[in-house]
Amino acid sequence: MDEQTVKAYDARAADFATRHGAADASELQRILLKHLPAGARVLEIGCGCGRDARFLVERGFRVVATDASAGMLEAFRKSAGDQVRIVDYPATEFCYLPFVEILQATFPLPLASKPAILSDTFDAVLAVAVIMHLPDTDLFEFAYQLRQMLKPGGTAVLSVSEGRAVDAASRDHQGRLFRERPPAELTLLFERLGFTLVAREKNADAMGRGDVQWTTLILRLDTVSGARPVDQIETIINRDRTLRSAGRCWDGTHLTRSGSNRPLPRFWMRQRWWRSRVGYSAGKRT
């Protein structure tokens, strides 16, 4: 999670909620209706003021809407009145329409706290205008957890922007992180985790900003999926700071040797990981 981003949403939650709520999201919502199976149980990550969660619930979808910002969730609760219900995990009763179930959660979820929601599964996961707020170091774990919470055959809907004005540290004037990644890179990452790209839709900016373009990726989790060995190694490497500081880089799509775009040979990855964990050559630890 990028704390500065969440603080920025908390600090100006009412203002963000008003602007996002008033935005014309009809294009995005048309895409949602086209690709989500009727009545699906949906997890929304980064729901903000709840515009899309409410839209879906009003059309018979069952939605658990989450956000990292307590301020944004409070704005959602205030505007939706008795249409929302705050839930916590583990819970026995979920998604009784016409309520939107809301829950404060930051993705990727901190594994140390053993988040119970990670054991729940959904027909679809929705992340609209959220992935850009993730630092590079969180991206793989985010995608991995998203897959974990989807039923086989489930749908991921990821809407990402391009064209924001940011400073050298990828922050806007309010301090929010905007790491805009080409949609093709995100697609590749998800494909390597067992997803198939179903559709890639372009949609206009809901707030009418001409320089910001949106792409919505619809990805389906393959029914016969399961992590391939190389993915498991990548997870470990991605978490392993020792190895990363030894000169490897994670560019959001593939592991590469520094300065090169060639994928690392699998044997080399295994060997480096093994050496970093147990040492090698006559007991010398690396």
Integer CA distances (angstroms), 236 to 1, 123, 168, 226, 272, in order: 19, 27, 30, 16, 11
Shortest Cβ 271–ligand SAM spacing (Å): 34
Shortest Cβ 219–ligand SAM spacing (Å): 17
- The strand pairing partners of 160, in sequence order, are 215
217, 158 Cβ separation under 8 angstroms: yes
Shortest Cβ 206–ligand SAM spacing (Å): 8
Q: What are phi and psi of 41, to 5 degrees?
A: -90, 120
155, 198 Cβ separation under 8 angstroms: yes
Name the residue nearer to ligand SAM (CB basis): 70 or 184.
Answer: 70
Name the residue nearer to ligand SAM (CB basis): 130 or 186.
Answer: 130
Where do the H-state alpha helices sit in the chain? 3-11, 13-22, 26-35, 51-57, 70-80, 136-148, 183-192, 229-239, 241-245, 266-278
- Closest-CB residue for ligand SAM? 48
Shortest Cβ 241–ligand SAM spacing (Å): 20
Residue 208 tokens read as 């009418």
Shortest Cβ 196–ligand SAM spacing (Å): 24
Name the residue nearer to ligand SAM (CB basis): 9 or 195.
Answer: 9
Shortest Cβ 35–ligand SAM spacing (Å): 16
Name the residue nearer to ligand SAM (CB basis): 114 or 262.
Answer: 114
Residue with tokens 């053993």: 114
Cis peptide leading into 90, omega within 30 of 0? Answer: yes
Residue 220 tokens read as 């389906």
Residue 173 tokens read as 């004037």
Of 146, 162, 155, give the one whose Cα is nearest residue 202: 162
Shortest Cβ 228–ligand SAM spacing (Å): 27
Taking residue 127's Cβ as centre, other Cβ atoms within 10 Å add up to 22
Name the residue nearer to ligand SAM (CB basis): 44 or 234.
Answer: 44
Name the residue nearer to ligand SAM (CB basis): 99 or 142.
Answer: 142
Name the residue nearer to ligand SAM (CB basis): 29 or 225.
Answer: 29
Binding site for ligand SAM (CB under 6 A): 1, 5-6, 9, 20, 45-48, 51, 67-69, 72, 106-107, 128-130, 133-134
Cis peptide leading into 108, omega within 30 of 0? Answer: yes
